[in-house]
Amino acid sequence: MIAVKDFFYRIRYSSYLIFHPFKGFWDLKRGGIGRIGPATAFILLLALVEIISSQFTGFIVNYNDILKTNIFFVAIRTAAIVLVWVIANWSVTTLMEGEGKLKDIYIATAYALVPYIVSTIISVILSNFITAEESSFYYLIQAIGLIWSAFLLLVGFMTLHQFSFGKTIATVIITAAAMIVILFLFLMFLTLLQQMINFVLLIYQEATQ
């Protein structure tokens, strides 16, 4: 029972952090409030919200083909982007002498995504009641959540790694580039793996004929 209360306390702490980011992120790392469990809950919630958004956003602003959308792919893609971001940032900041560990980056990223999660839920609900002329409100809410989360990421990394604002901006840009490299290498690996499998299957077929 105590563990459950502790878990939900750390979840509720996000409501404080998004309005007091400097102290909030400091407490996540230095105060020991951050934990893998609640952070993972936010990532799973993000994946669920992305699925809901793809399926239940009002038709006026929903450009997805609902019948052809693979919700499992949406969930995996969402989680993968977050994980690649975390790994890329850890790789970059380690070289730049950042103080944040891989676990700290994962937790900070998850908490920073809360405004985006909330704004997406609100915008999905709103999208089912607006007209085409009112669609700007939908995009405004999404933009607010996205910008808010981006701001929290900057503050979180500044606090986590003890970087200046300029160094944090540079780190984010390099992290984005590192993500592209990681994804490119991953795709190359999958391509080579597929070719190897096809080659082995071809040899097997020739041997058994």
Phi-psi region of 162 (alpha: psi -120 to 50; beta: other; left: phi over 0): left
pLDDT value at residue 30: 82
pLDDT value at residue 98: 84
C-alpha 88/C-alpha 94 separation (Å) is: 10
| 0.85 surpassed by pTM | yes
pLDDT value at residue 1: 59
Which tokens sit at 139? 């995009």
Which tokens sit at 65? 């083909």
- For 113-133, the pLDDT digits (tens) are 999 999 999 999 999 988 888
pLDDT value at residue 76: 92
- For 83-101, the pLDDT digits (tens) are 999 999 999 999 888 888 9
pLDDT value at residue 201: 83
Which tokens sit at 93? 């900041």
pLDDT value at residue 207: 74
Domain ranges of the chain: 2-184
Average pLDDT over the chain reads 90
Phi-psi region of 114 (alpha: psi -120 to 50; beta: other; left: phi over 0): alpha
What radius of gyration do the chain's Cα atoms show? 21
| Grouped pLDDT means (10 residues each) for the chain, 209 residues | 79 93 90 89 95 89 79 91 94 88 94 96 92 88 96 94 91 92 89 86 77
